[in-house]
């Protein structure tokens, strides 16, 4: 079966507001105040450790040990308020529904922990649109290793040779290349200005175009 696998953060949904809020909560607990703002959305979508590292750098620096100490606290804060500001990108759900109506299997492959990904997709009301979900901790490896992508395709009932990956970062681009499949990178996420330089097979400007793009790329 032909399959389309999606990244989550920055691809299907803008999760940056809730991620930044969780990180700032950790900084406030340490008496540092809010060290990140909306302009740091791109960093937020690179994960908790990236946010902690940037915030601590602005506060004069903290070691890797402190980042590791705060990381589980950040995840707890994030889980408690995972969908306060998060929204699906316009047309995302409709595009997935259209692909499924056309006979494609669909799945998610993300470097967000699987439990948090399940929780978020459920709160957004779209978990049922995806036949598989592989998170950062589902396998011993994570993207850009191609194995999580292949696992997501397989769990969706698809054929890794007849699949593509929709993402928003160099990590997704490298994952697709390593798996030998087309990469579709969205231009509307926080990293939109940079993704064109990566040379994806397609730079997606809007989700309404995705079904037609996939039809051309996935034999």
Question: Which residues are catalytic, by number?
Answer: 7
Q: Give the pair of three-digit tokens for residue 38.
A: 């909306």
Q: Give the pair of three-digit tokens for residue 83.
A: 């969908």
Pair 157, 105: CB distance under 8 Å = yes
DSSP 6: E
Helix segments in 30-113, DSSP class H: 41-44, 48-58, 64-80, 92-101
Pair 189, 14: CB distance under 8 Å = yes
Three-state DSSP state, 202: strand
Q: Give the pair of three-digit tokens for residue 194.
A: 């940079």
Residue with tokens 């079904």: 211
């Amino acid at each position: 079966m032909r399959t389309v696998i999606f990244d989550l953060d920055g691809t299907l949904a803008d999760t940056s507001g809730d991620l930044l809020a969780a990180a700032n909560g950790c900084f406030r607990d340490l008496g540092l105040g809010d060290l990140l703002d909306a302009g740091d959305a791109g960093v937020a979508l690179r994960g908790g450790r990236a946010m902690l590292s940037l915030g601590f750098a602005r506060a004069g620096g903290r070691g890797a040990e402190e980042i590791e100490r705060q990381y589980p606290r950040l995840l707890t804060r994030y889980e408690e308020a995972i969908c306060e500001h998060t929204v699906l990108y316009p047309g995302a759900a409709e595009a997935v529904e259209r692909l499924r109506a056309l006979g494609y299997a669909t799945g998610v492959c993300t470097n967000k922990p699987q439990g948090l990904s399940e929780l978020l997709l459920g709160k957004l009301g779209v978990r049922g649109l995806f036949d598989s979900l592989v998170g950062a901790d589902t396998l011993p490896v994570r993207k850009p290793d191609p194995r999580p992508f292949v696992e997501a395709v397989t769990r969706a009932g698809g054929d890794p040779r007849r699949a593509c990956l929709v993402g928003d970062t160099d990590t997704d681009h490298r994952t697709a290349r390593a798996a030998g499949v087309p990469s579709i990178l969205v231009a509307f996420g926080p990293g939109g200005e940079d993704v064109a330089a990566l040379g994806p097979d397609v730079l997606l400007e809007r989700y309404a175009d995705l079904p037609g793009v996939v039809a051309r790329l996935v034999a």
